[in-house]
Structure 1
Amino acid sequence: MSLRIVLADDHARMRGRVRAALEASGCDVVGEGASAEDAVRLAVEHRPDVALLDIHMPGNGIQAARGITKAAPEVVVVMLTQSAEDDDLFDSLRAGASGYLLKGTDPATLADTLRGVLDGEAAMPPRLVARIMDEFRAPAKRRFARRSVAAAKLSAREWEVMQLLGEGLTTDEVSKRLFLSATTVRVHVSSVLKKLRVKDREAAFRLLREE
């Protein structure tokens, strides 16, 4: 099956490698961009099968995913990124991405992976699947125990940030709700992880939900 693809990444060399691999596998790259704005515009203009997006490009790929999902909902969004951070993974999925691939993925397998996504298959490295399973198993909207030992270690602002993230809001949504920058939200999350001595925010959520 020949796929029509829009590719957005601010690294021209990376775009070139990905485009070459896709075209070698019979795909048609109908548009290339270097920013979130480019990605949304090209997706709306060309209505490809797949929009393949970097996260850390001007305007942010997660915002592009959200914009494409809203403006061209028939386009399947897949992230192709270097980031294995929980924030980026979960925020991408909440923004409408159907797949999350790391840039270490073998380029020769990329086209088949994207075809699989269109057929309803998961597109995610195995080491990230466990994080999704942890999130699924956790009581998503159960409120944290404010009097827990873990909660006592946090500042009031850190508590607010983690509570909203635990309720399913994205980093950008929390920043807007609390009138903070997304960077500040991430700083608060990093501080919480350090205080609770855990590696990721899902582990922090589990501690904060303990009575």
Structure 2
Amino acid sequence: MNEDPTIRVLVADDHAGLRRRVADVLVAGGLEVVGEAASADAAVEAAERLKPDVALLDIHMPGSGIQAARRISESLPDTVVVMLTQSEDDADLFDSLRAGAAGYVLKAGNAAALPAALRRAVGGEAAIAPSLVTRVLGEFRNPKQGLFARRSPAGAKLSAREWEIMSMLADGRSTDEVAKTLFVSPTTVRVHVSTVLRKLQVKDRASAIQLLKTS
């Protein structure tokens, strides 16, 4: 007899073949797949209509899985959000957790372990890929340097990557230096900074940095 057959899962990924394989693994593990979606908007719509126990979301599907996670977490507090992704990037990991995800599972991991991970998430445990657990613990053990350090109203508006960039700029690094450190273009850094200025409703970097330091 399968364990916990009533756990209902929505699977959202823009790759139909992967959705089917994930659904097969979940059903074989005793879970019920109640719906599928190929984009963030479709995932939110399906979640609101089906009210699953778990919304299993790909991060980089059209419309952003992280945005879908935030919307589902806000509108459906009883639905547990778990990210299923190829990304081991810190910014994706921490942005997902800040958006309300209770789990972060890697597509390259052991597929057979996925049903158990979702059961843990429904049971109130964090379902995070073992290779990433030390990064999360490190953020909490070093709050002055971690991406979770800012729980202020201003800091909470920023994504993990935006906070990372602003921290580097506050340390006196130039746009080019930040870009080289993060392996992105200077234009990408400037775009992130512009987004921060808009979110914080300030006119320049100095004002943004001051606000983040004092709020």
**Which residue identity lines up with residue 5 of structure 1 in the other structure?**
V
**Which residue identity lines up with residue 132 of structure 1 in the other structure?**
V
Alignment of 1:62-101 (within 5 A): 62-101=66-105
| 1:86-118 residue CA offsets vs partner (Å, 9 max, x unmatched) | 110000000000000000122221111111111
1:111 aligns with 2:111: no
1:18 aligns with 2:22: yes
1:31 aligns with 2:50: no
| 1:145-171 residue CA offsets vs partner (Å, 9 max, x unmatched) | x9x9x923324996xxxxxxxxxxxxx
1:153 aligns with 2:173: yes
Among 57, 61, 78, which residue is 2:61 paired with? 57
Q: Is the 8 A contact 2:9 2:34 kept in 1?
A: yes
TM-score, with length taken from structure 2: 0.69
What are structure 2's unaligned runs of at least 5 residues? Answer: 156-163, 179-190, 200-215
Q: Which has the higher contact order (CA 8 A, sep 6+)?
A: 1
Change in Cα spacing, 1:176 to 1:108, as seen in structure 2 (3 Å) is: same
Q: Is the 8 A contact 2:102 2:125 kept in 1?
A: no
TM-score, with length taken from structure 1: 0.70
- Provide runs of 4+ in structure 1 moved above 4 Å: 172-175
Change in Cα spacing, 1:4 to 1:173, as seen in structure 2 (3 Å) is: farther
Aligned residues: 167
Distance 1:156 1:21 in 2: 45
Distance 1:33 1:137 in 2: 37
Distance 1:6 1:175 in 2: 35
Instruction: Report percent identity of matched pairs.
Output: 52
Q: Is the 8 A contact 2:56 2:84 kept in 1?
A: yes
Change in Cα spacing, 1:155 to 1:108, as seen in structure 2 (3 Å) is: closer
Distance 1:176 1:157 in 2: 19
Distance 2:103 2:194 in 1: 25
Change in Cα spacing, 1:107 to 1:132, as seen in structure 2 (3 Å) is: same
Distance 1:96 1:157 in 2: 32
Distance 1:155 1:31 in 2: 44
| 1:40-70 residue CA offsets vs partner (Å, 9 max, x unmatched) | 0111101110000000000000000001011
